[in-house]
Amino acid sequence: MDKIRVRGGRPLFGEATISGAKNSTLPCMAASLMTPEPVLLHNAPRQVRDVATMKLLLEHLGTAASWEENSLRLQADGIDEFEAPYDMVKTMRASVLVLGPLVSRFGKAVISLPGGCAIGARPIDMHLGGLEHLGATITIEHGYVYATAKRLRGTRYRFPSVTVTGTENLILAATLAEGETILENCALEPEIGDVISLLRKMGARITGEDTPTIHIKGTESLHGAEHTIIPDRIETGTFLIGGAITGGKISVKKCNPAHLTGVIKKLTENGCRIVEQAGEIQIEAPTILLPSDVETQPYPHFPTDLQAQYMALMTQAEGISRIHENIFENRFMHVGELLRMRADIRIHDHIAEVHGRTPLSGANVMATDLRASACLVLAGLVAEGDTVVQRVYHIDRGYERIEEKLRQLGADIERIS
């Protein structure tokens, strides 16, 4: 099993180029199930493991899929399987995104129920409740969700709380429903706007993106389309934190600064000098990093997907920072590993109190999920000596060649087996 070895102490300098957003590519790939015509996705992160898993799932269902550089061509004209099996769903929860498209276009879907995962219980009750409102019949047996419908019909559904993939699943489902659907209390993440933009190119009639209320006028069929995936805002934030934590100065290219306002605000409070330009963010670390409190909240606030990386940064700030995780009940698994690197962090309920600045000491650490592994790599960049991050398959689920990109910025990092 691959590991990443990082030797700390080198400030990052230079340029990093951001890949297409994983969390936008996955629902856009699922959207391709809704037409027999080809869907071409440009700027898709080909080397991200979750994207490869979704490609396998679509192929399993009967989609023809092929890559040309970073463009993924998907054609769902031979769908003859309607089940997302346990083995695929257990490797990637986002597999559940095929549920809405399969029920709306084919009237049936069988999806293994995702279990809990390293960051929380993560039920899919809102996906299922919304589909029932759209007229699907849902039953759960032996760990599988069975969904059937003659044709989904438009409805008004209010999400009891904000869910990203739940919003995406219901938008996808409602697009081919009969009549109008109004979804309320929708998530505002930019990845949702990206899927809507693709669906519109496919002929869908959707308004209200980037607002909590989305209107969808159902249509009989959709056609093929070509679409360029937005830049990955979490990868962008991870590199910005890399520049800040190492005392460096870097320029992050091919990103969208407008998607990171909550993060840029925090990094500025920490004393970083940030310059935003079209498609680019430059960051220069201060001599002394200042502490700051953070609460994770749905977009446009500070994202839970950068909480772990930000915690690594706050171990290097002079003073106490309180990091409040509001989205997932168990997303502090990285804390134990940071403690092994001599960080001083105390957890009270959903708040981690980080006492900085502590010199970190390289150690063997274990990645427990995607963002936790990024946190440990960032911590390794400032730790004294070698840090070996085990189970890096987690990091490969969401970052393209992270060690190569960091090496280009001057980090002493390599993948070992």
Please, are residues 162 and 298 in contact by the beta-carbon 8 Å criterion? yes
26 in contact with ligand EPU (CB under 6 A) = yes
**Window 303-362: residues binding ligand EPU (CB under 6 A):** 304-305, 327-328
Is-catalytic flag, 272? no
C-beta of 218 vs 398, nearer to ligand EPU: 398
**Window 83-102: residues binding ligand EPU (CB under 6 A):** 94
Q: Could you tell me the two tokens for 166?
A: 């739940």
Cis peptide before 346 (omega within 30 of 0): no
173 in contact with ligand EPU (CB under 6 A) = no
Q: 395-404: buried (b, 16+ CB within 10 Å) or exposed (e) per residue? A: bbbbbbebbe
127 in contact with ligand EPU (CB under 6 A) = yes
* One residue of 59, 68, 77, 125 binding ligand EPU per CB under 6 A: 125
126 in contact with ligand EPU (CB under 6 A) = yes
CB of 256 to ligand EPU, least distance (A): 17
* One residue of 165, 181, 256, 387 binding ligand EPU per CB under 6 A: 165
CB of 13 to ligand EPU, least distance (A): 27
Q: Can you tell me the distance from the alpha carbon of 139 to that of 124, in angstroms, rounded to the nearest whole number?
A: 13
Q: 302-318: buried (b, 16+ CB within 10 Å) or exposed (e) per residue? A: bbbbbbbbbbbbbbbbe
Among the listed ranges 122-130, 196-204, 221-229, 240-248, the one in contact with ligand EPU (CB under 6 A) is: 122-130
Q: Residues 28, 117, 255, 272: which is the catalytic one?
A: 117
Among the listed ranges 76-84, 102-110, 116-124, 312-320, the one in contact with ligand EPU (CB under 6 A) is: 116-124
Please, are residues 250 and 237 in contact by the beta-carbon 8 Å criterion? no
Surface-to-core class of residue 121, CB atoms within 10 Å of its CB (0-12 exposed, 13-18 middle, 19+ buried): exposed
Q: Can you tell me the distance from the alpha carbon of 244 to that of 240, in angstroms, rounded to the nearest whole number?
A: 6
Binding residues for ligand EPU, rule: CB under 6 A, are 23, 26, 94, 120-127, 161, 163-166, 304-305, 327-328, 370-371, 398
Positions annotated as catalytic residues are 117
